[in-house]
Amino acid sequence: MSFRDEFKLLLRARYPLIYIPTYEEERVEAAIREEAANQGNRPVYTWDFVDGYQGNPNDAGFGRRNPLQALELVEKLPASAPGVFILRDYHRFLEDVAIARKLRNFARLLKSQPKNIVLLSPRVAIPDDLSEVLTVLEFPLPAATEIKAEVERLIAATGHSLPGRVLDDLVRSCQGLSMERIRRVLSRAIATHGELQPEDVDLVLEEKRQTIRQTQILDFYPATEQISDIGGLDNLKDWLLRRGGAFTEKARQYGLPHPRGLMLVGIQGTGKSLTAKAIAHHWHLPLLRLDVGRLFGGLVGESESRTRQMIQVAEALAPCVLWIDEIDKAFSGLGSKGDAGTTSRVFGTFITWLAEKTSPVFVVSTANDIQALPPEMLRKGRFDEIFFVGLPSQEERKAIFTVHLSRLRAHNLKNYDIDRLAYETPDFSGAEIEQTLIEAMHIGFSQNRDFNTDDILEAASQIIPLARTAVEQIQQLQEWAAAGRARLASKHNPLSDRIQRQLQ
């Protein structure tokens, strides 16, 4: 149900107190006025702390710098007189005992009157004693149709035109921004060269990066890594390549749903994060990185509000890839956390969205300690697949060495004995192989020469891989995967033979 439909329903059902968290005052007020006009041409009264009530000459300035007096205007009108009262930034006054009591009285009084009080706020901040009387109504960021209409209006104002494909690219790049930001960045582009051009997509993307940074929840992550940069993990790469066109309109016509996402479980340094970046680059989708720890705030209701904001921004940017690194760190020991249930509520909101989302947000979660995750996270329906990423086999280590050396020394790759390097580095992860090469480069650089195979072997002899320092943890992970609870990311994974023996 759209915002307008929900708001219309709340007006008709005489919901007295409506709370709308949004930064887009101008846009939401325009929508409220339009729906109020459709509902018997109801008058709309708008108040803020600095100017009081505005728009109605009889009440201009009433309630200036007095939030309690702002509510008294509702009582001054006859009981049969309809009205919608918009109170801006009113969340700042809800802790006042007089205002809280007045609103609770209105919750009973206005059920029989055609009046509605709408509180506008940039975030959800509702005291416990008002949680039962306030109805929260989400106001979404502009949809593609709204953005396209605004872009076409701006193009018409310049007297120029844009090809349909460029217009579609520009509209898609604007998704996830507020209408005010869209107008601002496009006006900047028009002021620069007198019209909108295909290159202005880069301006919009930079504005989008600024917006996402300001949320302090999501990061707009540049993805330049390619599928070919991943050494090994053939099963996982085959799975991803088959879904390369799953976000197209052709896939919708075929009847395919949007891919939901995948969980990558395994040992640290085995390429899980690299895979998330490569997915976004290969599918030509924006990559958003979520640090789950940023969802949690110190104020009551702030964590839940941040979670909703994260979901809203991700869905507005769709299609996109949402990368959640080390999700096990955020939700480990869920039942034992002494935070008055905040973590449980955030987790509940998050996994409900994972199961019910219809937007093309492809979620890639990585985890090192699968035992720390609640079982609800792993059930089918949250993700399309759960892959186990284990230590690379000798063949995969050979591929990893080839990838790194091709990037570092493509001109003399043949001078390195890659077969020997792969053989001499058992139990090394991809990250440890990369660190080995960096150490070998230091050896060569310190002696004013290029590094060679012997330098790499010397560096490898000085590195103690995680497989030897965290034996128990890795063994638990391997046993978990061997039990058939996850799909193996590698065709040559050492677990393959073990699982086959168990199945026989």
- Does residue 246 sit in the same domain as residue 305? yes
483 band by pLDDT with thresholds 50, 70 and 90: confident
Same domain? 269 vs 338: yes
CA distances from 334 to 348, 382, 387 (A): 11, 18, 23
What letter represents residue 26's amino acid? Answer: E
| 11/101 same-domain check | yes
Check whether residue 234 and residue 383 sit in a common domain: yes
**Tally of domains in the chain:** 4
Q: Which residues contact residue 368 at a Cβ distance below 8 angstroms, ignoring those fewer than 6 apart?
A: 265, 266, 267, 268, 326, 328
CATH code, 307? 3.40.50.300
Distance of CA 126 to the CA centre of its chain: 24
- Pair (320, 351) in one structural domain: yes
Structure tokens at 152: 């076409």
pLDDT of residue 300: 56
Closest CA to 316 of 279, 361, 284, 280: 361
Specify if 69 maps to a domain.
Answer: yes
- Same domain (yes/no): 253, 378: yes
Mean pLDDT of all residues in 275-290: 86
Domain boundary among 118, 136, 154: 136
At 383-427, the pLDDT tens digits run 999 998 888 888 889 999 999 999 899 888 899 999 999 999 988
How far is the C-alpha of 304 from the C-alpha of 124, rounded, in Å? 8
Average pLDDT score over the chain: 86
Please give the pLDDT value at position 496: 41
| 257 and 384 co-located in one domain | yes
Average pLDDT of the segment spanning 21-29: 93
Answer yes or no: do 299 and 415 share one domain: no
Q: Residue 69's domain spans which residues?
A: 3-136
Q: Burial code of 77-97, b = ≥16 C-beta within 10 A, e = fewer? A: beeeebbbbbbbbbbebbeee
In a domain, 498, yes or no: no
The tens digit of pLDDT for each residue in 331-359 reads 766 655 555 577 888 888 888 898 888 88
pLDDT, one tens digit per residue, over 416-448 is 999 999 999 988 988 999 999 999 999 999 999
Query: Do 48 and 172 sit in the same domain of this protein?
Result: no
Whether residue 381 sits in one domain with residue 309: yes
Same domain, 187 and 330: no
| Dist CA 492 CA 502 (whole Å) | 17
Considering the domain boundaries, does residue 333 fall inside one?
Answer: yes
User: Final residue of a domain: which of 215, 236, 266?
Assistant: 215
Whether the per-residue pLDDT at 171 is higher than 90: the answer is no
In a domain, 368, yes or no: yes
In a shared domain, residues 435 and 328: no
pLDDT at residue 337, as a whole number: 55
User: Residue 483 domain-assigned?
Assistant: no
**Residue 223 pLDDT > 80:** no
Stated pTM of the model = 0.68
pLDDT tens per residue, range 291-334: 887 887 656 567 887 888 888 888 877 788 999 988 887 776 66
Chain segment 65-111, per-residue pLDDT in tens: 999 999 999 999 999 999 999 999 999 999 999 999 999 999 999 99
- Residue 190 placed within a domain: yes
pLDDT at residue 340, as a whole number = 59
With both helix axes pointing from N to C terminus, report the angle between 394-408 and 430-446 in degrees, rounded to the nearest 10. 40
